[in-house]
Chain A
């Protein structure tokens, strides 16, 4: 039976790295100990000298992961459309920027390059010869608030349908397929501020049913809650969207069909998660349902454990969370 391939993205270790508490070597050693098959690095986060790291730094980095016997898999790059006030990047900027990043990815030994939808399908097509020449898989990340039906992603899908090239694809992030809020979402609020037990009940009802929000709010009031609980529910349980950023919750209907369709063009996936409990359940994301689809479709790529739950104060370490996540994925894969 095929086995799921695991990657760990170093992204989750960003706070420790950005505040200087841990070096890249410290982080790689922790990831090595977790025992995944490969790792992902976020270029503007941990590549020293980004966007043009020195030869010396590249050599030290390659020596480091080779010494640790680790496998580089995914090099995450961006389309920084916020760079200029009043405009997005131009095609010249997107094109040359991405080629430069692809070259560094290649030199450092990565074979998958994750970019963003801001790249646009037309520019992606112009990059195909470079992906072929460098033998890289260039993929755009499907991330909340987008879904497989978002027009910009449908354009990429049409490009992939037309070109049928293994060098282009998607990195699906589970933020586009959330059902509800994670179990730890209320942890940052002091207990005396709201009725947490009641709110957790509402959270589960929101995730697993289609009971209208107005009815859930009424239930809060009927069961001893008040205005504060309704405020918290609206802010944290019914959505994680903030303006054009963040994600929606799709309750019982995340886009399973779109997920299945996009799998054809996926070699790497962001197993976004916020918490896995001691029973290996990650509330808020239907991992069992998605793993079943992956198995049915004979998915052979990686799933990266991408932890984003530190801000919810889960009470266990990130390393423990990632270890649980990998165990959860393996268990679900075996059961599917």
Chain B
């Protein structure tokens, strides 16, 4: 390896964003399936892996994007499913008491008539999320301009190739 190649490799290893406790990436492998109601397929769904070393608040998500086979999914058709509730992903910030614990299943459901055709699909996800806690402190908005750990949320990318299973 040349010096440049070694430097590039070292950067790749040492500058990965830290998703504490989640070596597998954000998308749960093998979880893709179509979503069918009364024999009508109205979308598809897949599960997420836990994104921290502990449970997290859904309100910490600032942005979620999904692309399937290279094509971005319109955000207005995506909901997050947790504890029997379906929450539009652009509204997660308002659900500040929804806690995703270690043993809860958390899925993304994309409404799309007909779902995905049988076979393999590459799901790519980009999400932006604040840490649940930090080490800058204050009361309400007092001093919040110092809270770089919240003002600069993590940008995480994950991809997974999955086959549609089930109906």
Give chain A's interface residues, CB within 8 Å of chain B: 11, 14-15, 17-19, 42, 44-46, 48-51, 78-91, 116-118, 120, 143, 145-146, 152, 188-190, 192-194, 226-228, 231-232, 235-236, 242-245
Q: Is the CB of A82 within 8 A of B60?
A: yes
Contact between chains at A19 and B148 (CB < 8 Å): no
How distant is A94 from chain B, measured CB to nearest CB, in Å?
8
Quick one: given A14-B54, A48-B103, are A82 and B24 in contact (CB under 8 Å)? Answer: no
CB distance from B93 to the nearest CB of A (A): 5
Residues of A within 8 A of B130 (CB): 82, 85
B150 in the interface (beta carbon within 8 A): yes
- Closest Cβ neighbor of A123 among chain B residues: B139
- Which B residues lie within 8 Å of A120 (CB)? 137, 139
A175 to chain B, nearest CB (A): 11
Looking at the complex, which one of B22, B96, B134, B143 makes contact with A244 (CB distance below 8 Å)?
B134
* Cβ contacts B137-151/A at 8 Å (1 or 0 each): 111111110011110
A228 close to B132 (CB less than 8 A): no
Flag if A85 contacts B137 (CB, 8 Å).
no
Tell me if B139 and A82 are in contact (CB < 8 A): no
The residues of B that contact A45 with a CB separation of less than 8 Å are 53-55, 102
B50 at the interface (CB under 8 A from A): yes
Which of these binds chain A: B1-9, B71-79, B107-115, B155-163?
A: B1-9
Q: Which residue of A lies closest to B49 (CB)?
A: A19
Contacts of A49 in B (CB 8 A): 101
Q: Across the interface, which residues of A come within 8 angstroms of B133, CB to CB?
A: 78-82, 116, 118
Please provide the chain B residues from 61 to 116 with a CB less than 8 Å away from any CB of chain A in the complex: 62, 93, 96, 99, 101-103
Q: Confirm or deny: B23 has a beta carbon within 8 angstroms of a beta carbon on chain A.
A: yes
Chain B interface size, under 10 / 10 to 19 / 20 to 34 / 35 or more: 35 or more
Besides A82-B133, A84-B96, 12 more A-B contacts (Cβ < 8 Å) are A19-B22, A19-B50, A50-B99, A79-B137, A80-B133, A82-B149, A118-B137, A192-B1, A192-B6, A242-B18, A244-B134, A244-B148
Contact status A226-B3, CB under 8 Å: yes
Q: Report how far A231 CA is from B52 CA in the complex, Å.
A: 28
Task: Tell me if B14 is interfacial: C-beta within 8 Å of chain A.
Answer: yes
Query: For residue A144, which residue of chain B has the nearest CB?
Result: B135
Question: Are A227 and B14 neighbours in the complex by a CB distance under 8 Å?
Answer: no
* Interchain CA distance A232-B143 in the complex, whole Å: 34
